[in-house]
Chain A
Amino acid sequence: MKASFWIGTALAVLLAGGASAQQLKFPPGQDQRFNWKSYEDFKAAHANLKGQGLTLFGPWRGEDEVLFNSVLAYFNAATGINGRYSSSENYEQQIVIDTQAGSPPNIAIIPQPGLLADLAAKGFLTSLGQENSDWVKTNYGSGADWIRYGTYKGKDGKEAYFGFPFKADFKSMVWYVPENFEEAGYDVPKTMEDLIKLSDQIVADGGVPWCIGLGSGGATGWPATDWVEDMMLRTQKPEVYDKWVSNEVKFDDPAVVGAIDEFGKFGKNPKYVAGGVAAVSSTDFRDSPKGLFDIPPKCYLHHQASFVPSFFPPGTELGTDADFFYLPTYASKPDLGTPVLGAGTMFAITKDSPAAKAFIEFLKTPIAHEVWMAQSSFLTPFKGANPDAYANEVLKKQGELLTTATTFRFDASDLMPGKIGAGAFWTGMVDYVGGKDAKTVASDIQKAWDGLK
């Protein structure tokens, strides 16, 4: 059988590429940026759990999965627990299937508080208790806000604390190439008025200021929701933002329509966006930052969250080849402070066990944060973690903005019901850049929301 020979050969080749051993990325006790004492203390306090199993299920795949596993390795090494992380492309659906069918992982890692609230209401989550809630409140930057996003109504209708935040994303930022700015003589704007002035200046110089891409397959439109949320925080009080999330302030309220039009000032201005307004909804969000690095540059500015450097061209050095500035606020509205739009992943216990409890304890040690900080794409609002552990200046700057923000608000589209935040809001934004006016789009979304009740 020739065929079986070839299959056999192929298998042998494929199998040769395996072999793994989990090693600690940074040897304990060496690098002084890390809080090794917290590691040793944790190790001493959890010595009695050796050999237990722990399953974690979350959204990270590929490089992010490698990064998270490097953190998990410290937990495993300290406790002797066999913690195993897995993921799936459709983790949102999968976690619902698993919890409903009765075979959940010990810990679910979910970036959408809305989804966690659903799971909590059905009684699938174990409360983390007052003690953890107090800990987050005192040890996290804008801790009270973080607790709010992890507190849901349980099956008994009582509010309890379920979601422990670990790993934050920072969304209120504008990316640019410092050398392009230098050559053209542009300065980083300090106020929203300056940002608009700068955009006009770039247009006057014959350039195009912004790269905006909303394309994302089935999720097309979401980058625009971040824009609208940022604009909401820059034109309205945080309380209005909260009411908008819970629909006490209707979607077609003038406040919301105003914020959509604030985005329209950039996204619907044919002189402002690379490729014209028609390109906004057809450009993939992963491709749009590349315009910054074209020669000559397709655009000078790009609004996107902290994850975006992984889509910069290979070899781009953060801080020198590319940098960011905080999306500024209006000088005319000083009472709004420095609001930060962000997101984060919540760790919730879906199947209680001593090992799961120990893992939540582990997330409270500085070392759990510092190991990921020292690598890439990780921010933490934890004040006990050493900011010097951040791998580069750009991350450090983001981390500082996160811990010092006067207002932290979670990405609204992740908090709204799925049909709105991951549906009508997205498609509404595509319609908006496609030519509909803000009022019509907003009332369409509100109609969809009314339809849920």
Chain B
Amino acid sequence: MTAIASLRRVGLPRLVVHVSVLLICIVWLIPTLGILVTSFRDAGQITASGWWTAFTGAAETSAARLGEPSTARQEGANYVISGSVFEGGQGGTVRAFGTRVAAPTEFPAGQTADIGNGETLTINEDGSYIYSKNAPFEGRGKRVYLSVATPPSFTTDNYRTVLTSQGIGQSFVNSLTVAIPATIIPILIAAFAAYALSWMEFPGRALIIAMVVGLIVVPLQMSLIPLLRMYNEIGNFFGVPSRSYAGIWLAHSAFGMPLAIYLLRNYIAGLPREIIESARVDGASDFEIFVKIILPLSFPALASFSIFQFLWTWNDLLVAMVFLGTGKDQLVLTGALNALLGSMGGKWEILTASAFITIVVPIIVFFALQRYLVRGLLAGSVKGG
């Protein structure tokens, strides 16, 4: 009974934990997987069937048009049009065909169907057809209905559409120009502030901390109009444009600051008092303590906050639209991709491919900093570490 033996070795509680972690991971991954699969299917497939059917290949019913009457040739008493129903489209295997939309799979492939009016039609499995009539054909090419088994097919066209669309490169650069300084500036300021708030004695310190915590809950949407108005006034006064990178860096820094200060203060306040006091005794100034002791020790917290802040600024659409403008050359990546969706939206093939394109940079940042993230996430939660 090896199964029971190994179960005993692992222990039931641990097994339950492992299985539930595995389940949760799978549940979390399924939507991402769905988006990934969808991004490789073309627009027609996406609306016709779910992404989970993408690997099996489907028998779909479709319509095709036979050749125009002008392509008919005379064979004895009959007029004949022949060709392939797959002309100009993707191939497949014809299972059945029909000539009435109400009965699209009336005849099995290969059978010669007598469709009345002196006409006969044969469609073979490979799509070739012979359509004949005992009188000249008239009107438009005849519409026929087919049940076609298609092999699973994937396309990279969606990615090509997104990557080669106009202005996407510019917007990528814009996004980086916004996100990198908007990550570094608040961290620099917040680290100073956090040190002062945790290790420098001055009156009103607790009040300032309380205010900073309070500011975390202020929704940024509320301050968009006053802030932009302020920018416009300052811009008018100095005669410079109000919508600039400096403006959006400041906006992102300010919006990110309360959380940054709070997070870093809790971490820095938890550093061992002995180290800082002995540094003071040795005659180190506050600045030296900050640079030589605090910064290196709080690297995990800095790294984890920079991931948060970078992701937030990278994914942001609203702040960028308001403070940077909506012109083609000012759009950040999220804005440019959003514009690709069109006025009515609903283009899943573009949306899913874009999602995977925007994800690339955050993933690089995440893997570069992830080993600090777990330690940093605990910032402030375990005192006296």
Contacts and interface: CB of A to CB of B under 8 A. Distances in A.
A82 to B, nearest CB: 11
A311 B343 CA distance: 12
A8 B202 CA distance: 47
The secondary structure that dominates the A interface is: mixed
A175 to B, nearest CB: 16
B102 interface: yes
A295 B145 contact: yes
A88 B337 CA distance: 11
Contacts of A97: 224-225, 228, 322
Contacts of A7: 361, 364
A62 B346 contact: no
A98 B242 CA distance: 12
Interface stretch (A179-187, A400-408, A410-418, A433-441): A179-187
B63 A88 contact: no
A100 interface: yes
B149 interface: no
A296 B98 CA distance: 11
A15 interface: yes
Contacts of B196: none
Interface in B44-64: 44, 47, 61-63
Nearest to B103: A296
B140 interface: yes
A3 B364 contact: yes
Contacts of A239: none
B173 A11 contact: yes
Contact of A320 (B140, B231, B326): B140
B256 interface: no
Nearest to A206: B102
Interface string B228-261: 1101110000000011000000000000000000
B168 A14 contact: yes
Given A59-B343, A183-B100, A307-B344, A84 B328 contact: yes
B322 A94 contact: yes
B359 interface: no
B172 interface: yes
Nearest to B350: A62
Contacts of B340: 61-62
Interface residues of B, number: 57
Given A94-B326, A97-B225, A296 B101 contact: yes
Given A65-B339, A86-B328, A18 B170 contact: yes
Contacts of A18: 166-170
B168 A17 contact: yes
Interface in B143-176: 143, 145, 163-170, 172-173
Contact of B143 (A14, A63, A179, A290): A179
B377 interface: no
B130 interface: no
Contacts of A314: 43-44
Nearest to A310: B344
Interface string A162-177: 0000000000000000
B185 interface: no
A450 interface: no
B46 to A, nearest CB: 10
Nearest to A64: B343
A209 B229 CA distance: 54
B335 A88 contact: yes
Contact of B342 (A57, A62, A180, A313): A62
A101 B228 contact: yes
Contacts of A311: 344, 346
A103 B168 contact: no
A14 B47 contact: no
Interface string A78-107: 000000101111100010011011110000
Given A103-B232, A314-B44, A14 B169 contact: yes
Contact of B229 (A10, A63, A64, A100): A100
Contacts of B25: none
Interface string B123-150: 0000000000000000010010100000
A97 B243 CA distance: 13
Interface in A261-316: 284, 286-287, 290, 294-297, 307, 310-311, 313-314
Contacts of B229: 100-102
Interface in A5-38: 6-7, 10-11, 13-18, 20
Contacts of A101: 224-226, 228-229, 231-232
Interface in B247-293: none
A7 B345 CA distance: 30
B338 interface: yes
A102 B322 CA distance: 12
A60 interface: yes
Interface in A197-232: 206-207, 217
Interface string B308-341: 0000000001100110011110000001001111
B104 A295 contact: yes
B299 to A, nearest CB: 18
Nearest to B321: A88
A18 B168 CA distance: 7
B95 to A, nearest CB: 13
Nearest to B326: A86
Nearest to B242: A103
A430 B385 CA distance: 56
A261 to B, nearest CB: 29
B218 interface: no
B274 to A, nearest CB: 38
A295 B342 contact: no
Contacts of B164: 17
Nearest to A207: B102
B368 interface: yes
A100 B230 CA distance: 11
A85 B68 CA distance: 44
B123 to A, nearest CB: 15
Nearest to B330: A86
B207 interface: no
10 contacts: A17-B165, A60-B343, A64-B343, A84-B327, A87-B326, A101-B232, A102-B228, A103-B232, A183-B101, A297-B101
Interface of B: 43-44, 47, 61-63, 100-104, 140, 143, 145, 163-170, 172-173, 224-226, 228-229, 231-233, 242-243, 317-318, 321-322, 325-328, 335, 338-347, 360-361, 364, 368
Given A17-B164, A103-B232, A180-B101, 20 more contacts: A3-B364, A3-B368, A10-B360, A55-B327, A57-B326, A59-B343, A62-B341, A63-B342, A97-B225, A97-B322, A100-B225, A101-B225, A103-B228, A103-B242, A284-B346, A286-B346, A287-B346, A296-B102, A310-B342, A311-B346
The 8 closest A-B pairs by CB, nearest first: A62-B342, A101-B228, A15-B169, A86-B326, A286-B346, A14-B169, A17-B164, A101-B229
